[in-house]
Structure 1
Amino acid sequence: MDIQESAVLTRQMTASTRTQLQAPDSAIMTEVEHLLARRTRDIRLKGELSRLFQERFWPRTAKIIRAWMTWVALLDVLTLGLNAILLPKAITVSMLLPASILPPAAIACAFIWKRPRAFWLQRISLIAGMFLILLSVALVGVSAGGEFYERHLNIMLFVAITAIIIFSIPLAWTVMVASIALGLYLVFQVLNPGLANGSAVAATLFFASGIVATVVARRTMTILAQKTFLLELRDRSRVAELADANAQLERLARTDALTGIANRRWMMETLDRLWSDGMKSRSCAMLMCDIDEFKKLNDHLGHPEGDRCLVKVAGIIQSSVRRNRDHVARYGGEEFLVVLPGVDEREAVAVAERIRESVEAASLPNPASRVSPYVTLSIGVAAHSPDDETIFPEQLQNQADAALYLAKQDGRNRIVLHKPDAPST
């Protein structure tokens, strides 16, 4: 994998990181910062932010509602069974019909909230379910009469309060549940033969204060949850930006700033990785390429022209190797190191010749050169086969460097293959 593919991989990893973090876009982040700058009690989520909030918390809300509905239905059945044991038969029979309203209503609501459905359907099911549940509790007391009348109306309010507290639903829904509970309480208290109308209204107002306080508490809890969500969005955005910056720094640390190909550090890490993966037991070749008379090119044409030459030569070398397998790096100055995994001596020399000929054919000017009026390359080649003794990347690189030295001695613009019996330099 060359440095261009490494850069592509880095971008893909960064994109993957962004996806996992779900970093919002700039428009949403502007709104997030605007809301966080306001007082907590003034936070109101609208549009896309409201949708994201619901998407984030709605599954948990649905799970809570399902559990609440299931337990309410179960407790209703258990209570009715205990009443059958403890209370006179006539009272139990009177409770039976109104009590039978609750379990089907609760189970139906739990079923609708079992998976995501249309928003309007969930709203209607919850409001209708709560109405039937509260009505059932109240009617049980009304049917039994006596002490059960007032007791079950209070139980109905308790059921409503627990639902308001634990259901993280929109404020309008919460107010509707509270209104249903208070409305039912007022109606049945007015109809209570043992209670004057004034006392019924007074009792309703008393319980209304508790219900209103509960609704306000629920609203405060929702606002705090929304603020936490906004802070989470901001943190995700900042983490995503930091991941981008780190990926960019990582890419820059492994890229030669002038030519855009890998630098020496990246190549050393790549060699360590290749040898750790078992390259020492497979064929591999290295090419050490050096631009002939590069100092004279810089002195005669200037450093800007020298930089352009390096960029063009780097591009030629990069385009002359296998994109998905070979590795090219600027090793230092005017030197380039090419690593060819799975390549023997003959193939390595062929690649080196292709690179040398391509550079020469590019006719890049070097008028002060004693080799040619155009830029040329000298290349040292070293190859390792599975039958050879174990060799480390530093040794193979030294062999390629020694072959390059011989190519320079022999007149430049040529390729020299390292031979094991060749004298060391």
Structure 2
Amino acid sequence: MTDRQDASHPLSTGTARLDHYMRDPEIMAEAERLLSGRTRDVRLKGRLAEAFRDRSWRQTAKIVRSWMVWVVVLDILTLTINMFLLPRSAALAMLAPGAVIAPAALAVALIWRKQRSDLILSSSLMIGMFIILLAVSLTGIAAGGEWHERYLNVMVFVAIAGITIFSVPQWQTLSIAVMALGLYLLFMLQNPRVEVLSTLSAFLFFASGVSATVVARRTMTILAHKAFLLELRDRRRLAELEEANGQLEELARIDPLTGVANRRWMTQMLDALWNTSEHRSASVAMLMCDIDEFKRLNDRRGHAEGDRCLVEVARIIASRVRRADYVARYGGEEFLVVLPEATERGALEVAERIRKNVEAAAIPNPGSRVAPVVTISIGVAVEPDDAERMTSEQLQSHADMALYFAKRAGRNRAELYKPKLLGLGKRAAPNVA
């Protein structure tokens, strides 16, 4: 496998990598296949194994580094104590081979500080462990006597500790076991104080213990792999659920026919807009748009043509406003446009642009008394700068009133709300759809 991404890469964190892999159909299909079988048959291969190593890298590296640092500390501490507790000749004989342990362990710890290729990491760990186990063995052999066998026993226990805590591929675990047992048998056969049969008996004893440790480590690895697969599947299902919820939220705020926002979402947006501090320092404009003679269009050309008209008008309105503006279908053929930070002149320009483009679309409306094509009337209301803050309901009421006067004035026009219209607006309005 190639070198991993560096820490600055977007996939450098475990969670980001997991999210990346769970979107891979091939990986998820293999994960589901493994989870559907028996736990003991779980074997991670290919990209799934790569995904597991990426996910567990930080924890594995931290354990390896910690173990190596403690080896360094214990090696230095042991050699120092030996100088005071052991005969001077034995203690001095142990110094040379014992001094090799700390640099080897420290080198492995330094290499495992950064995520590198599998070849570099695995090679450094295997070479480092071999040097450490060999150095521990030679430390006892150099001292001779009772320390010959004692340090070989220590070497086996060091290997068992590494096998137990290193979450590495099975071949590396087996390699450590073979190295330890091989060194033990080789050097014990050279021990003049122990007979061959006693050596073989001790070897079989330690071999059984190391083998049990390897099997236990394999079981731990399988369980870790299964936990990873379950986590991968759970995150995938959670992502699918979040995506489904997002789609439901989108459907809840979108008008299914026109594709613009619906009245419910617009109401929520207005509440949020009026409650933000930013709104306090900027005026807001509203455009209430209503398709002229829409009922006649439905009566003459049918509801299917009426629906197509609504879709096209919604598209035109949405395409003629700014990115920061809001458009919603507010009623049957009514659309509400909210323009944050808009002046009267700017709001009128937007309204006129919408009106002209709707008329230019030349959507046939043979029953219209305004024009042979679909037209639109627009009421415009803008918060006055020199007045008390208005509620969204008040501003919308002004836009409705301006729309009423646009209809009354002949339709196919944009009308700006003026306070002088208030008296007229209190009269009962006729049906001017």
- TM normalised by structure 2 equals 0.90
Find the residue that maps to 1:340 and give its secondary structure: strand
Q: Using the TM superposition, give the Cα deviation of residue 254 of structure 1 relative to its aligned residue in structure 2, in angstroms.
A: 1.0
Find the residue that maps to 1:100 and give its secondary structure: helix
Q: Using the TM superposition, give the Cα deviation of residue 200 of structure 1 relative to its aligned residue in structure 2, in angstroms.
A: 0.8
**What residue is the counterpart of 1:138 in the other structure?**
137
Write out aligned runs for 1:15-414 (5 A): 21-22=19-20, 23-277=22-276, 278-322=278-322, 324-414=323-413
| Equivalent residues of 2:17, 2:55 under 8 A apart | no
Structure 2 counterpart of 1:100, one-letter code: A
Is 335-344 or 351-360 further displaced after alignment?
351-360
Find the residue that maps to 1:101 and give its secondary structure: helix
Q: 1:188, 1:414 → 2: CA distance?
A: 102
**What residue is the counterpart of 1:11 in the other structure?**
none
Q: Using the TM superposition, give the Cα deviation of residue 295 of structure 1 relative to its aligned residue in structure 2, in angstroms.
A: 1.1
- Report 1 or 2 for greater relative contact order, CA contacts < 8 Å, sequence distance ≥ 6: 1
Find the residue that maps to 2:420 and give its secondary structure: coil
| Equivalent residues of 1:344, 1:385 under 8 A apart | no
Q: 1:162, 1:195 → 2: CA distance?
A: 26
Q: Using the TM superposition, give the Cα deviation of residue 35 of structure 1 relative to its aligned residue in structure 2, in angstroms.
A: 0.5
Q: 1:80, 1:355 → 2: CA distance?
A: 88
Is 211-220 or 369-378 further displaced after alignment?
369-378
Q: 2:320, 2:66 → 1: CA distance?
A: 66
Structure 1 counterpart of 2:86, one-letter code: L
Structure 2 counterpart of 1:311, one-letter code: V
Q: Using the TM superposition, give the Cα deviation of residue 280 of structure 1 relative to its aligned residue in structure 2, in angstroms.
A: 4.5
Q: 1:358 to 1:125 in 2, by over 3 A?
A: closer
Q: 1:233, 1:199 → 2: CA distance?
A: 51
Q: Using the TM superposition, give the Cα deviation of residue 33 of structure 1 relative to its aligned residue in structure 2, in angstroms.
A: 0.5
Structure 2: any 5+ residue segments left out of the alignment? 1-14, 427-433
Structure 2 counterpart of 1:126, one-letter code: L
Q: Using the TM superposition, give the Cα deviation of residue 18 of structure 1 relative to its aligned residue in structure 2, in angstroms.
A: 8.6
Q: 1:180 to 1:20 in 2, by over 3 A?
A: closer
Q: Using the TM superposition, give the Cα deviation of residue 19 of structure 1 relative to its aligned residue in structure 2, in angstroms.
A: 7.9
Find the residue that maps to 2:30 and give its secondary structure: helix
| Deviation digits for residues 20-68 of structure 1 (CA, Å, limit 9, x no counterpart) | 8333322211111000011111111111001111111122212211111
Find the residue that maps to 1:388 and give its secondary structure: coil
Q: 1:199, 1:265 → 2: CA distance?
A: 87
Q: 2:289, 2:106 → 1: CA distance?
A: 77
Q: 1:125, 1:360 → 2: CA distance?
A: 76
Identity %, equivalent residues = 59
| Equivalent residues of 1:53, 1:229 under 8 A apart | yes
Find the residue that maps to 1:343 and give its secondary structure: coil
Structure 2 counterpart of 1:221, one-letter code: M
Q: 1:281 to 1:31 in 2, by over 3 A?
A: same
Q: 1:381, 1:193 → 2: CA distance?
A: 106
| Equivalent residues of 2:17, 2:54 under 8 A apart | no
Q: Using the TM superposition, give the Cα deviation of residue 143 of structure 1 relative to its aligned residue in structure 2, in angstroms.
A: 2.1
| Equivalent residues of 2:316, 2:357 under 8 A apart | yes
